[in-house]
Amino acid sequence: MTIDTTVLGYPRIGPDRELKRATEAYWAGRTGAEELEGTARALRRSVWTGLRDAGLGTIPSNTFSLYDQMLDMSVLVDAVPERFRHLDGLDAYFAMARGAEGVPALEMTKWFDTNYHYLVPELGPDTRFRLVRPERAKPLAEYREARGLGVETRPVLVGPLTYLLLAKAAPGAPDGFRPLDLLDPLVEVYAELLERLAGAGCAWVQLDEPALAADRTGEELDALRRAYERLGALPSRPRLLAATYFGEIGDALPVLAGTRVEAIGLDFVAGPGNLRAIASIGGLPRRTLVAGVVDGRNVWRADLGRALSTCASLLGLAGDVVVGTSCSLLHVPLDLAAETGLDGALRARLAFARQKVDEVVLVGRALREGHEAVAAEIAESRAARDAEGAADYRVRARLDALGEGGGRPDRAVRFAAQARTLGLPPLATTTIGSFPQTAEVRAARADHRAGRITTEAYEAAMRAEIDRVVALQEDLGLDVLVHGEPERNDMVQYFAEQLDGYAATANGWVQSYGTRCVRPPILHGDVARPEPMTVRWTTYAQSRTRRPVKGMLTGPVTMLAWSFVRDDQPLADTARQVALALRDEIRDLEAAGIGVVQVDEPALRELLPLRRADRPAYLAWAVGAFRLATSGVAPGTQIHTHMCYSEFGEVIGAIGDLDADVASVEAARSHMELVTDLSAAGYAAGIGPGVYDIHSPRVPDVEEMEESLRRALGAIAPGRLWVNPDCGLKTRGYAETEASLRNMVAAAHRVRATL
Ligand code: GLN
Ligand code: ZN
């Protein structure tokens, strides 16, 4: 038995987001392909040599990407839709990612339940997979490049099953076509690539199959078997690691174990049940088990004692054990060394990608040399980890006393009360919260942050912006106004900065998609609200108009989904703490005369567990947290919520359970079907199906929105129908925003006149 160490993948953006800068300079035409490639090469080298110098046993390659690893696969196997074929090289690659003159990009969507986005392959019966320029294929080139630096690597590819399950049928593909139909020809391309990698001297290849962490049909498992039997049977190939992550792989485990793959990677952080599953199939003797014991999704130091005992149990169940991360480290920031401003006690509890490599190496040493050899390091880690996050016993006591929060009176009672307090017309018009963030607004925020302008000057600039936005909305004739959110950099970070129990990083960047990186705040202790967070701005806006101004907050689930969250208590408990802070904020808004409050939950769908069996429990706490936040107000105070993603499916029932008075949802691209679906699911409150798509600068005309509203009225009474765009306007310009909203209000008025 040998014990090795590895990671499944590593951040590629560089310590200073060098990849972002180089790519954007290339897009802007300021630099050429050579310079971009030079930066890319330097970044790859620093990752490989850095991992080697850290003492990691086996180092992955082909985890670098200029944009996205799924896009890389599509290009590798020539799954390039016709509309990009007149372009080549980097032009074609980036056009697929971002679109080009008259050529829309591939669709982009979330990678499982992470905040990383991939480009969705578009496949049809005409797709002809082939290995493009085999000698220069990216995985082969990177393997050779690393070898040239003296680093032997294990190229990583998205596995064939996951690639196809994440693909969509190309527009125009016949009904009934499924990407999975293309498994056999796709596997032949993998086969050719594996043979070439073997020819280049490559000993191991990693095939990522995270799709196995979700429910899979018997047919899909058959496809898995077929693919890996074919690849396993190749006469000349590297050894294969089928890497799974993001959860338990259930029925897929015996299937993989029945093929000839030499190694299986299992996630023991998101999928603790994987341990029992291995035991139940009698272990994996003669196989290598890559044990994902260090969390690749979160920023906390590992519980090394637990990691060690998991690995120790595996020693008796597998041929060889490789200590590894639960998934690629793509999802965590690169290096804690760059965080000098964090509170010392918090910093001691953290491990970013670079520190996680050390943890993997340490667990490997402990297994090989015995605990005693690394006892000091383990003790130090335990002490740091056990240092509690700030506990707030007041928050805990209040939550215990509140229970569910009491709930709100009957919907009919609220409806009548709100008719009195607000007196809104049928088909009331509103927006989702943010107005365009102009260069001046961004500059004012940046200047204030950097201390270049005084707080007074900054606040005056924000008030001037609110004045403008309120005046514009009055001029447009909207019924429920907003303050426009000019003071918010980001809908989560803005609140995180004001809540106790949250910390911001200076450099904790994580790739969200392409060159877009985010810096999720760290929720590390009990959450409490030292003082009101939004009341000043909202009441200022309300002081400028007689129409109702809607307060704007981010909901508990979204506050967790877009942060790194403490893992020492259930998410549900943390969600309740955030909810309590919001509940206080909403009551303060109400007391200050605000009659409408919106609580955004765009991430409700995103946190939905991959396995169906886990969903009811999740939805129960997610809905409970929303209700706790919103149930402290009088019946006459109107609670809105907003969600934006097109695939509501699984959560449609939950939207009603939130018990808001109005839900505004993205529907512009789904032709109002959502209104029918919601009604069918028993939803009885107000609905604002977005009547136009804010993701495009196009100005919709009055007639098309009028038509949408009339269609919606087929499924809902006019008093319950709201008229709004499908999301916030902050990424849009003023010209199109004004024109679109003017048309939207006109459409509402026309329909109203015919009621
Ligand atoms: N109120 C937020 C805004 O308008 C909502 C953003 C979102 O749904 N993602 O910007
Ligand atoms: Zn939205």
Is the distance from the beta carbon of residue 600 to the nearest atom of ligand 1 less than 6 Å?
A: yes
Q: How far is the CA of 663 from the centre of ligand 2 (A)?
A: 11
Length of the chain: 755
Is the distance from the beta carbon of residue 635 to the nearest atom of ligand 1 less than 6 Å?
A: no
Per-state percent for the chain, helix, strand, coil, to nearest 5: 45, 15, 40
Q: What is the pLDDT of residues 608-623, one digit of tens each?
A: 999 999 999 999 999 9
Tell me if 738 is assigned to a ligand binding site: no
Question: What is the DSSP-derived secondary structure letter of residue 651?
Answer: G
Residue 668's pLDDT band, with cuts at 50, 70 and 90, is: low
Tell me if 19 is assigned to a ligand binding site: yes
Tell me if 512 is assigned to a ligand binding site: no
Three-state SS at 276: helix
What is the DSSP secondary-structure string of 229-266?
HHHHT-SS--EEEEE--SS--TTHHHHHHTS--SEEEE
Bridge partners (DSSP) listed for residue 108: 119
Q: What is the pLDDT of residues 616-654, one digit of tens each?
A: 999 999 999 999 999 999 999 999 999 987 677 788 889
Is the distance from the beta carbon of residue 551 to the nearest atom of ligand 1 less than 6 Å?
A: no
ipTM surpasses 0.90: yes
Alpha carbon distance 339, 320 (integer Å): 37
Tell me if 517 is assigned to a ligand binding site: yes
Q: How far is the CA of 695 from the centre of ligand 1 (A)?
A: 12
Alpha carbon distance 66, 252 (integer Å): 32
pLDDT reported for residue 554: 98
Reference 398, options 566, 570, 577, 523; nearest CA is: 577
- Return the residue whose CA atom lies nearest to atom 4 of ligand 1: 728
Number of other CB atoms surrounding residue 461 within 10 Å: 20
pTM above 0.90, yes or no: yes
- Return the residue whose CA atom lies nearest to atom 9 of ligand 1: 602
The token pair that represents 48 in the structure block: 């490989």
The pick from 495, 549, 552 for probing ligand 1's pocket by mutation, whose C-beta has the most ligand atoms within 8 angstroms, reads 552
Instruction: Return the H-helix or E-strand segment holding 305.
Output: helix 304-315
Q: Which ligand is nearest to the CA of 491?
A: 1
pLDDT reported for residue 263: 98
Instruction: Return the H-helix or E-strand segment holding 417.
Output: helix 411-422
Is the distance from the beta carbon of residue 728 to the nearest atom of ligand 1 less than 6 Å?
A: yes
Q: How far is the CA of 320 from the centre of ligand 2 (A)?
A: 48
Q: What is the pLDDT of residues 531-544, one digit of tens each?
A: 999 999 999 999 99
Q: Which ligand is nearest to the CA of 737?
A: 1
End-to-end CA distance of the chain: give it in Å, rounded.
78
Q: What is the pLDDT of residues 553-604, one digit of tens each?
A: 999 999 999 999 999 999 999 999 999 999 999 999 999 999 999 999 999 9
- For residue 66, pLDDT beyond 70: yes
Is the distance from the beta carbon of residue 381 to the nearest atom of ligand 1 less than 6 Å?
A: no
Amino acid letter, 411: R
Is the distance from the beta carbon of residue 491 to the nearest atom of ligand 1 less than 6 Å?
A: yes
Residue 488's contacts (CB-CB under 8 Å, 6 or more residues apart) are: 434, 494
Residue 431 CA, closest ligand 1 atom number: 4
So which residues are the catalytic ones? 695
Alpha carbon distance 649, 409 (integer Å): 28
Tell me if 562 is assigned to a ligand binding site: yes
Q: Which ligand is nearest to the CA of 550?
A: 1
User: Is the CB of residue 248 less than 8 Å from the CB of residue 292?
Assistant: no
Q: What is the CA radius of gyration of the chain?
A: 27
- For residue 658, pLDDT beyond 80: yes
Q: What is the pLDDT of residues 348-388, one digit of tens each?
A: 999 999 999 999 999 999 999 998 989 999 999 999 888 77
pLDDT reported for residue 669: 63
- Return the residue whose CA atom lies nearest to atom 3 of ligand 1: 728
Is the distance from the beta carbon of residue 599 to the nearest atom of ligand 1 less than 6 Å?
A: no
Mean pLDDT value of segment 183-197 = 98
